[in-house]
Amino acid sequence: MTTFENDVAVVTGAAGGIGVGICRALLDAGARVALADVDADGLDRAVEELGDARAVPFVVDLGDDEQTAGLPERVRDHFGGLDVLVNNAGIRQVTEIADLTPSEWRRTLDINLVAPFVLIRAVLPGMVEQGRGKIVNIASLAGLTAVRGRAAYGAAKAGLIMLTRSVAIEFGSRGIWCNAVAPGVVETPMTSSFFQDPAVTESLVQVTPVGRWGRPKDIAAPVIFLAGRASDFINGVTVPADGGWTAGYHAVGV
């Protein structure tokens, strides 16, 4: 018996680094997976890389409320069900507050916070009707602690963490689990610029107690736990998957 026994999972941002890692782990654990992303070519590459007929691409622009709200129905029409939602799509915005414009602020909140809210609202009726559903939101260490230049991104991710808790308390008694994973730095296309500069990689190692940055599978592992049945007594939490970064200040000699 596998963890997901043919359950259907939809993963947003599935063409991205962490998204592909989550999809692979879900397939390995027995799920059928709807890969959702705005990047059609990226989705084709992801599906080819996964090489599994249970992985099916769905092009969707999560900046468009109507398209976003319509995604669960498309997934249900194709697979005949929808058991797990992973809100993983996100955009990074690195600008200090003095230079950050209201439109950048709104766009960052739209993709990182409003879209997960719209998608959660759209999956809930079907999940409640079937008596069970698991939602996992991908937040960020920047939603747990302030990071320079991430005011908009961090506010969106902190909002996503509070949305997670709100869904858990409003829907927990109706068979819905909503938890979050807050990644630290993970090597993906989103963060590729970090890894071109040895000074940056060295400082990443310094601030991370486990002494390395993350890989997509480091994030996929807690997602599988929170999307599966082993976590049925856990609702509304955010699990930092950051190598200990947010555990506390750990500079030597202070």
Ligand X SMILES: NC(=O)c1ccc[n+]([C@@H]2O[C@H](COP(=O)([O-])OP(=O)(O)OC[C@H]3O[C@@H](n4cnc5c(N)ncnc54)[C@H](O)[C@@H]3O)[C@@H](O)[C@H]2O)c1
Residue 251 contacts residue 207 (beta carbons within 8 Å): no
Instruction: Tell me how far apart the alpha carbons of residues 168 and 191 are, in angstroms, rounded to a whole number.
Output: 31
Give the nearer residue to ligand X in terms of CB position, either 52 or 61: 61
Residues 220-249 that bind ligand X (CB under 6 A): none
136 binds ligand X (CB under 6 A): no
Give the nearer residue to ligand X in terms of CB position, either 1 or 199: 199
Give the nearer residue to ligand X in terms of CB position, either 38 or 168: 38
Residues 29-58 that bind ligand X (CB under 6 A): 37-39, 42
18 binds ligand X (CB under 6 A): yes
Q: How far is the CB of 208 from ligand X (least distance, A)?
A: 12
Out of 89, 136, 223, 226, the only residue in the binding site for ligand X (CB under 6 A) is 89
DSSP E strands in 60-215: the ranges are 84-87, 133-138, 176-183
Query: Nearest CA to 46 among 110, 91, 89, 3?
Result: 89
Which one of the listed residues 4, 79, 105, 153 is annotated catalytic? 153
Residue 181 pairs in a beta bridge with 138, 239
Q: How far is the CB of 147 from ligand X (least distance, A)?
A: 10
Instruction: Tell me how far apart the alpha carbons of residues 90 and 112 are, in angstroms, rounded to a whole number.
Output: 5
Instruction: Tell me how far apart the alpha carbons of residues 79 and 77 are, in angstroms, rounded to a whole number.
Output: 6
Decide if 153 is catalytic. Answer: yes
Q: How many CB atoms lie within 10 A of CB 99?
A: 8
Binding residues for ligand X, per CB under 6 A?
Answer: 12-13, 15-19, 37-39, 42, 60-63, 88-91, 111, 138, 140, 183, 185-186, 188-191
Any idea which residues carry the catalytic annotation?
Answer: 153
